Amino acid sequence: MRPERTFWEKATAIHVFCAQGSFRGGDRYARHWHDVRRLDAAGFADSAARDRALAFAVAEHKSIFFAESMPDGAPVDYRAAVTGALDLAPSGDTRKTLAEDYQRMVEDGLLLDDAEPFDVLLQRCQALALKVNAAALGAA
């Protein structure tokens, strides 16, 4: 899979987590935040943000094969994640849950030696979302 597609797959999964406040599949989901940051550091987030066809293809695919619901029962809007409303930083109890998962992964050595402190990771993810959203809105 192309790194740009990997970026969009992970970014949309993060977007759903932020919207729902939970993650299907148990624990070790903090890896997605770690991975999107590494993809960004390698320049792939920029190229993914420019590839509008790929962004829409991932959103469409996920809408069909990974349909999720919001707590109120409304469907998760994957298209919003690729058209300027991407959310990569949860808040409240959701943020606390993610921080705990991230810490367990760090302690278990799963993120190797390049795991930054959680607050730094989330700050960088917020900045990344702003950059990707700006690219999406500029392409509209």
Predicted confidence at residue 24, as pLDDT, reads 66
Please give the structure tokens belonging to residue 18: 């932020």
Specify the number of domains making up the chain.
Answer: 1
pTM metric for this prediction: 0.92
Residue 20: CB partners within 8 Å, gap ≥ 6? Answer: 68, 69, 70, 71, 76
Predicted confidence at residue 48, as pLDDT, reads 97
Q: How far apart are CA 69 and CA 116, in angstroms?
A: 32
Among residues 5, 59, 11, the alpha carbon closest in space to that of 34 is found at: 11
Predicted confidence at residue 25, as pLDDT, reads 63
Q: Which domain holds residue 38?
A: 3-139
**Does the pLDDT at position 86 exceed 90?**
yes
Q: How far apart are CA 124 and CA 12, in angstroms?
A: 17
